[in-house]
A and B are shown apart, each in its own frame.
Chain A
Amino acid sequence: MAAPTTGPSATAPIGDTGGAREYVATGADWDEIAEDAHAHADERIVVNMGPQHPSTHGVLRLVLEIDGETVTETRAGIGFLHTGIEKNMEYRTWTQGVSFCTRMDYLAPLFQEAAYCLATEKLLGITEDVPERATLIRVLMMELNRIGSHLVAIGTGGNELGATTVMTIGFTGREEILRIFEAITGLRMNHEYIRPGGVVTDLPAGCTQMVRDAIPKIRHRISQLEKILLKNPIFVGRLKGVGYLPLAGAMALGAAGPILRSAGMPFDLRRAQPYCGYENYDFEVPTSTDADAFARVEIRFKEMRESLKIVQQVLDRLEAQDRKGKQPVMVADKRIAWPAQLSVGSDGQGNSLEHIRKIMNNSMEALIHHFKLVTEGFKVPAGQVYQQVEHPKGPLGVHLVSAGGTRPYRAHFRDPSFNNLQTVGMMCEGGTIADVVVAVASIDPVMGGVDR
């Protein structure tokens, strides 16, 4: 961006604007800028929105060409949060890969973990060997995470319209979920909880009851949001008919997830290609035919309720298992499973003291095995797979290539936000600048996932 110029008539000294007039707002100079822009109203006016803008849902740069209040052309500039996660994964073991991909879409970390681990398991050919309890825990974590992600989508969307209460309610509801995650994984985000072959550790004692106690609180926050939003004339007025993307457009741009469902297509990978045993759960796939921002909010509300339904079914199954005694949460194959489970101690995540005593005092072989598996990792046969899961924002695809070694040869994440952000032009052009904010919020892009 150019250095602040002193007045509206100053032309841009920096950057290639092709001789065009450039304004840099520095504060209380809006009147001067507006006046000068009015004087040159016959010229094209290009407005940069973001990347540091509270209404662009993250470090997203939108380049808008405007005619008065009407947006005539929209382009999105991304890449500000690119951190080379995929490249880094090529230099870490298969297990360590989890700690990188969890950081992509930081509002839905468990979906990246689950998709990556399912893909690794497919490459290893051990999909069938993953214990049932690990799969149940994965479903529990993913569905809770879906609610958390949708609460933030709606909450920040409301905040961008100027309704801070919507955000605080959303985040308060998500707090309940983060508290559960912290009890289970030791962390509120960047969990590294799902690993190839299962999960790191079993649920702590009393966890299912903790989740059961949290469900009414989460439901209460969802209801509060529904009451404050869905009949609110300002909210309805700002969202109805805005960010319209019909079925043909959504299909052409591959914008699956809530966007495609808001256009009437009941496409959900949990139904179409069930993974993690989703075929055994009773849930609905909500749709709408309005294809606008309001329909997407409604769908997110309904999906949260469906997720709560799934959570309750998982809890029933987990409790049924609890009655049968201790169940494994990691594959039995000692070449893949780490020799000990981590345990969440009073200080958060911790080592298994019993295992440390064993390898340090009693068994040289166990120590060697532990060392080799943790530092070197396990080998995965050469080949490639593609695994999809239904992420809160749409289908998340993982393309994993192995060259037979202990590290991924290539890991590519088809992040739904990255793909769906392409629809911003189709949703915004022809609307007003205020509608851009609504349309972007309805896509719900998380830039950590978009840029990776």
Chain B
Amino acid sequence: MTSSEENLPAEQQTASQEVAPAGRAPLDVISVREGMFGVHGSGDTSGYGGLERVVSMPGASPRPYGSYFDEIVDVLTEVLAEAGVDFDDAVEKVVVYRDELSLYVVPEHLPLVARSLRDDQDLRFELCLGVSGVHYPEDTGRELHAVYPLYSVTHNRNVRLEVAVPDADPHIPSVIDIYPANDWHERETWDFFGIIFDGHPSLARIQMPDDWPGHPQRKDYPLGGVPVEYKGATVPAPDERRAYN
């Protein structure tokens, strides 16, 4: 255990100890934080300013995954094998966190995985409840994540697909020929994150005006706002205020 890991809360320590098996993707390190109080360059002599914390998302989970998760992974492995794709080639890692199953899918195999999950009678994930983008600027080479929550009405089960693409080449195949409901959701994620869903028939902005520059939900896009003066003191705009993160 390195000194930086000692500062992690207990839960994150376990997550980092479960080092990804050989051949699987390493941990999603999303940030390295310094100091304790969100203040930099203040001449802090307490020593806390030198602390360094690595923040990573929960890593790959070992078998058994528990609940119905093993069955989903097993059946999906079979269905993918029938289509001539090795499970490990299509799915980077399997994460179980807070009793929820996430499959990290390689972008080019997303349509196949989604179609398999929808059509196989033991999987039957009929509903895709949209796609939510997340921007991790420090997850180098995998900055933009798209998260697809799937739900099976037949079996009353949930699974989540996550696809990570680099900011420099943000292309993910569209799934709207499999889940037509994702039409507006993909437009929204394009609008807010700039992820390009290849194969979408009209990937236009949906919430922002058509001529809007930039993608507002990305972390490098400023929140905006103005400082507010109150009784002689000035309260800075929300994104300028001190963050204790």
Contact = CB atoms under 8 A, between A and B. Distances in A.
Contacts of B217: 86-87, 410
27 contacts: A79-B209, A82-B208, A84-B216, A86-B217, A87-B217, A88-B238, A252-B181, A254-B130, A256-B127, A265-B153, A381-B11, A382-B15, A385-B100, A386-B158, A388-B151, A397-B130, A397-B149, A399-B147, A399-B149, A403-B245, A404-B9, A409-B30, A410-B135, A414-B132, A414-B185, A418-B188, A419-B185
Interface string A30-59: 000000000000000000000000000000
A216 interface: no
Contact of A251 (B31, B127, B132, B244): B127
A386 B98 CA distance: 10
Interface residues on B, range: 35 or more
The 9 closest A-B pairs by CB, nearest first: A254-B181, A405-B245, A412-B132, A79-B207, A82-B207, A399-B132, A91-B238, A376-B244, A414-B130
B207 A78 contact: yes
Interface of A: 78-79, 82, 84, 86-88, 90-92, 122-123, 125, 251-256, 265, 267, 272-273, 376-377, 379, 381-386, 388, 395, 397, 399, 401, 403-407, 409-410, 412, 414, 418-419, 421-422, 451-452
Contacts of B102: 384
B132 A406 contact: no
B203 to A, nearest CB: 15
A419 B98 contact: no
B12 A382 contact: yes
Contacts of A419: 129-130, 181, 184-185
Given A384-B147, A386-B160, A253 B180 contact: yes
Nearest to A127: B98
Contacts of A399: 132, 147, 149
Interface in B71-97: 97
Interface in B128-185: 128-130, 132-135, 147, 149, 151, 153, 156, 158, 160, 179-181, 183-185
A414 B98 contact: no
Nearest to B28: A382
A384 B15 CA distance: 13
Contacts of A381: 9, 11-12
A451 B207 contact: yes
Contact of A92 (B9, B216, B238): B238
B6 interface: no
Contacts of A386: 100, 149, 158, 160
Interface stretch (B50-58, B60-68, B106-114, B227-235): B50-58
A406 B245 contact: yes
B208 A252 contact: no
Contacts of A395: 129, 151
A144 B206 CA distance: 33
B223 A251 contact: no
B34 interface: no
A383 B98 contact: yes
A56 B133 CA distance: 29
B1 interface: no
B126 interface: yes
Given A79-B207, A123-B98, A254 B57 contact: no
Contact of B180 (A82, A252, A273, A405): A252
B55 A403 contact: yes
B240 to A, nearest CB: 10
A87 B216 contact: yes
Nearest to B218: A87
Given A255-B181, A384-B97, 13 more contacts: A79-B208, A251-B153, A252-B179, A377-B244, A381-B9, A381-B11, A384-B134, A385-B100, A403-B30, A404-B55, A419-B181, A419-B184, A419-B185
B120 interface: no
A419 B179 CA distance: 12
Contacts of A272: 153, 156
Nearest to A77: B206
A384 B188 CA distance: 20
A78 B56 CA distance: 36
B183 A382 contact: no
A451 B192 CA distance: 12
B226 interface: no
Contacts of B207: 78-79, 82, 451-452
B153 A383 contact: no
B97 A383 contact: yes
Contacts of A92: 238
Contacts of B198: none
Contact of A254 (B128, B223, B245): B128
A406 B9 CA distance: 14
A48 B126 CA distance: 34
Nearest to A423: B181
Given A399-B147, A403-B31, A384 B57 contact: yes
Nearest to B126: A251
Contacts of A91: 223, 238-239, 241
B243 interface: yes
Given A125-B98, A381-B9, A422 B55 contact: no
Interface in B30-44: 30-31
B129 A407 contact: no
Nearest to A400: B132
A409 B31 CA distance: 11
A405 B31 CA distance: 11
A254 B56 CA distance: 33
A88 B223 contact: yes
Contacts of A404: 9, 12, 53, 55, 245
B223 A87 contact: yes
A376 B147 CA distance: 29
A4 B205 CA distance: 27
Nearest to A377: B244
